[in-house]
Structure 1
Amino acid sequence: MFQMRFLINILLMLAIGIASVEIPVSGEVTAFTLESETSNSLAGVLKSGDLFLHNIDMDEGTFTSIQFQGYHQSNIIGSPELPEIHKLIEIPQDAVPRIEIINKEVEYYNLGDYGIENPIFPHQPSLSKSQDPDDVPFEWNEALFQTNAFIEHELISVELKGQLRSLRLANLVIRPI
């Protein structure tokens, strides 16, 4: 019995490993670090780690999910679900956030070179615990997916979230893809 369980576990691990693809970007762990912080500014560095891709089979077709280990996904319903890095920051009460990118390096990857031919999985609406997933329609902005162009999002944005006692909080969102 133990040998049968062991064999099933090994086969399951192999199947999961074969089903996913890793695109080596830097060989490092994805990390955003704040290098300096003053009352007027924040300075940080983003190191992109390797990308992990895996296929998702749906009734509507096969899609590919792209992820950085341990980070968020974009949340525009029906649009491609792309990795994002979120960092909660404090902003002075009367300050107007301004972003200045001092240096950036861009590298382009063709997913076809890694055997990925499927569209990126579109973000789906959240479901409550009482909802049946079969009753919720699959959201997919097909017109956006038919466009043969890059989706231009701001690389970095600041989303004001509100007050928490005496602190003014914002979400720093970094979109490396």
Structure 2
Amino acid sequence: MTTPSHKEHKHRAPKSVSCMVITCSDTRTPETDTSGQLIQKLLKENGHTVAAYHLVKDEPAQIKDRIAEGTANDTVQAIIINGGTGISRRDSTFEAVDALLEKRLDGFGEVFRYLTYQEIGSPAIMSRATAGIIKGRVLFSTPGSENAVRLAMEKLILPELGHLVKELTK
């Protein structure tokens, strides 16, 4: 008996995933949220849909409320958050997200930091990018810079999004 390869698994994965995008920032507006706009653009260009978009302050309660909204929405299959993953006093997205995750995808943060290191060197250690599973949805949390968002989306999230959603239906 042969087992399906990762390519076969991906081939069977949904081509379109319904996503919620959340930007966590104390300073951005919908007009200046270039990272949130980039996530939405890349999702749509790759055949996915944006079920909802929110811009919230980097406050744990607001972040948790938007995540809860996403997990309560039957159409949302994935949640992509950007911002608040650094180490400054105001960066609290990691704590809000980490407390909710039922399963962690440690490899996402590890590989993201490795790829970031290749681009910018040692500052990569300050990123607390993370991912995991919450209530049957995959959740990604990336830094808020456009470069970080592009890296996470193009190298990690978009190539595996459908595959991850498929795995959650097993």
Q: Identify the TM-score tier after normalising by the shorter chain.
A: under 0.3
Question: Which of the pair is proportionally richer in helix?
Answer: 2
Computing the radius of gyration over CA atoms, which structure comes out larger, 1 or 2? 1
